[in-house]
Structure 1
Amino acid sequence: MMTEQALSPPVCGHQWIEIPAGFSCLGSDDTDPYAGEKERPLREVFIPTFLISKFPTTNEQIAAFYAATGWEPHPEWSAWWRRLREDERAEHRRFPATHVSWDIAAAYSAWLGEEHDKAIGLPTEAEWEKAARGGDARIWPWGDVFDPSRCCCAELGNNDFCSVDDFASGCSPFGVAHMSGLVWEWCIDHHHADNHASAETFAPANFTPARQRVVKGGSAFCTKEIVRIACRDWTNQINQGGGDDGFRVVWHVR
């Protein structure tokens, strides 16, 4: 298994992990006791090389985007951020951005790419799963036995978010953090129940229009069945941005 290749210093304000080209598992089967119908079948697909941000996008990063572009944040996030004292902002700057709608996640990615002349966007579901799994069919980023000490999830009983720097033991084989729990993460794919069954073998992504987009990873308020890598959910791409909706970005090197 390839070792972590985080580029240092950070590029575009993000730490990046290179995910090498190759075949990877997508979906789940009966070896996963929590497998759902929308996750089937378990497929092997080929994913070209890409880079993914090691951490979900943070409050500090999204605040810089709002300030630079004039984009209006979700009212709940905006009210929360404004009422924080300076010391509280410092404490929460490395917490994940939340109340992120599809439009905001897509706009942030486009802005970041334009600012730095790089092809930055949101991951496909297949890219996301490869980065989380390391290529095999494991259930959680660390393996097939659930361990609540490795992720920010409901089993902890904290009912709250944490810094993206926490839970380092829960990183994927590639070194990507928080692929289980913390915040739901937007993917670029439109959501359809048969995505995996109809997926292409090479670089699959579903662009057949739908009102919903795929979200992955579960959140701090989700149980072990939901924070599995293969678990698939959706969120409306219009007028959304729930309290545990976040995202991370990918970079396709030209």
Structure 2
Amino acid sequence: MLDSEMVLVREGVFEMGSDDSSTDDREKPRHKVWVNDFYIDKHMVTNKKFCKFCEETNFLTTAEIDDEGDTLVNGEFQLVKGANWRHPFGPHSSNEQKGDHPVVLVTVRDALAYCSWRSKKEKRYFRLPTEAEWEKAARGTDGRQYPWGNEPPSDLGVVRARYYDGSLKGTTPVGSFPQGASFYGVMDMAGNAWDWCVDASDKHYYEKAPNCDVGGPISMSSDSVFRGGSYIFPVEALRASCRHSNCLGRASVGIGFRTVAPSRKWDSVRIRVLNRMVVYFALRMKININRRLNR
């Protein structure tokens, strides 16, 4: 039985991307995409849920193994020794009082391991969303600019998202901005923390993308897409069409994830998820070998 906190997104066509002259070229062109039915987490995976996974499996995240994570020091991103999902700003910080906040400082490998654990636990297949699934869940079928519509994120005393507005305020508990809910009622699709997607990064993918979602590109580039903006990024990153990417093996204090569950037994993206795991471990082996050689 699916978690009651998942939302069903019905199959059909929606318009993905943007043709606005002010948007980044990687969001162009705007194009129609057919997406099959799928369920998506209403909220991002929280520290509490991720902790349960780690405790039951004795899992160590990439940042814990590497003993470093990409975090903020005086407002600037730096690799900090001892920074990980339990200690997001270094060894002297803690998330013990933030169980209902989105887990951050997790890599694609960490997120896929969580998906695998959840799949076994609930006897159903879970994975990361494709870019098309993520964007449809965020903006729906009416072409809106933001998950909630076209209104500004903060307007007439109504605040719809946690984002950088001149001061870094940190993450909030998931679902803290109900007026920022998406077309389908999914929370925090704009702001708070970015969501990892399963697709590898390709700035020009939209120019050649098929009109039916089969998952995005698989690449040895080691970059994965993340979507949705965060408390660290300004208002421009909150647009539903906004795309960013980072090394899939690099844990960042601004990136978390949520899962999807396809409604059909056969999922065309599944093989791509497996390929991403192969790519990841190949890269990890190469990194570890290089470190040993350079000692």
User: What TM-score do the two structures reach when normalised by structure 2?
Assistant: 0.76
Indicate which of 112, 117, 122 corresponds to 1:116.
Answer: 122
Q: Choose 122-131 or 192-201, whichever is displaced more.
A: 192-201
Post-superposition shift, 1:119?
1.3
Q: Choose 205-214 or 129-138, whichever is displaced more.
A: 205-214
Match of 2:25 in 1: 37
Q: Give the conservation status (yes or no) of the 8 Å contact 1:47–1:203.
A: yes
Equivalent AA in structure 2 for residue 109 of structure 1: C
Equivalent AA in structure 2 for residue 143 of structure 1: G
Post-superposition shift, 1:110?
1.3
Q: Give the conservation status (yes or no) of the 8 Å contact 1:131–1:172.
A: yes
Larger Rg: 2
Name the SS of the counterpart of 1:121 in structure 2: coil
Match of 1:244 in 2: 254
Name the SS of the counterpart of 2:226 in structure 1: strand
Post-superposition shift, 1:78?
2.8
CA–CA distance in structure 2, aligned partners of residues 230 and 124 of structure 1:
13
Match of 1:27 in 2: 17
Equivalent AA in structure 2 for residue 48 of structure 1: N
Match of 1:226 in 2: 237
Q: Give the conservation status (yes or no) of the 8 Å contact 1:28–1:137.
A: no
CA–CA distance in structure 2, aligned partners of residues 34 and 176 of structure 1:
26
Query: In angstroms, what is the RMSD of aligned CA positions?
Result: 2.1
Name the SS of the counterpart of 1:218 in structure 2: coil
CA–CA distance in structure 1, aligned partners of residues 184 and 166 of structure 2:
25
Name the SS of the counterpart of 1:196 in structure 2: helix
Match of 2:152 in 1: 146
Match of 1:78 in 2: 86
Name the SS of the counterpart of 2:235 in structure 1: coil
Post-superposition shift, 1:69?
1.3
Indicate which of 199, 217, 221 corresponds to 1:189.
Answer: 199
Match of 1:5 in 2: none
Equivalent AA in structure 2 for residue 62 of structure 1: F
Q: Give the conservation status (yes or no) of the 8 Å contact 1:97–1:246.
A: yes
| Corresponding residue pairs, total | 238
Are 1:162 and 2:172 matched, yes or no? yes
Match of 1:4 in 2: none
Q: Give the conservation status (yes or no) of the 8 Å contact 2:192–2:230.
A: yes
Equivalent AA in structure 2 for residue 166 of structure 1: S
Equivalent AA in structure 2 for residue 78 of structure 1: R
Equivalent AA in structure 1 for residue 42 of structure 2: K
CA–CA distance in structure 1, aligned partners of residues 203 and 91 of structure 2:
40
Indicate which of 133, 141, 151 corresponds to 1:135.
Answer: 141
Name the SS of the counterpart of 1:154 in structure 2: coil
CA–CA distance in structure 1, aligned partners of residues 176 and 160 of structure 2:
9
Q: Give the conservation status (yes or no) of the 8 Å contact 2:15–2:32.
A: yes
Indicate which of 31, 52, 64 corresponds to 2:52.
Answer: 64
Indicate which of 161, 181, 188 corresponds to 1:178.
Answer: 188
Equivalent AA in structure 1 for residue 86 of structure 2: S
CA–CA distance in structure 2, aligned partners of residues 15 and 82 of structure 1:
32
Q: Give the conservation status (yes or no) of the 8 Å contact 2:193–2:230.
A: yes
CA–CA distance in structure 1, aligned partners of residues 160 and 210 of structure 2:
33
**Residues 204 and 195 (structure 1 numbering): CA distance in 2 closer, same or farther, change over 3 Å?**
farther
User: Mind listing any 5+ residue stretches in structure 1 that lack a counterpart?
Assistant: 1-9
Post-superposition shift, 1:145?
2.7
Post-superposition shift, 1:11?
3.6
Name the SS of the counterpart of 1:225 in structure 2: helix
Q: Give the conservation status (yes or no) of the 8 Å contact 1:45–1:204.
A: no
CA–CA distance in structure 2, aligned partners of residues 79 and 177 of structure 1:
25
Identical residues among aligned pairs (%): 28
Q: Give the conservation status (yes or no) of the 8 Å contact 1:25–1:137.
A: yes
Equivalent AA in structure 2 for residue 154 of structure 1: Y
Post-superposition shift, 1:79?
3.7
Q: Choose 126-135 or 147-156, whichever is displaced more.
A: 147-156
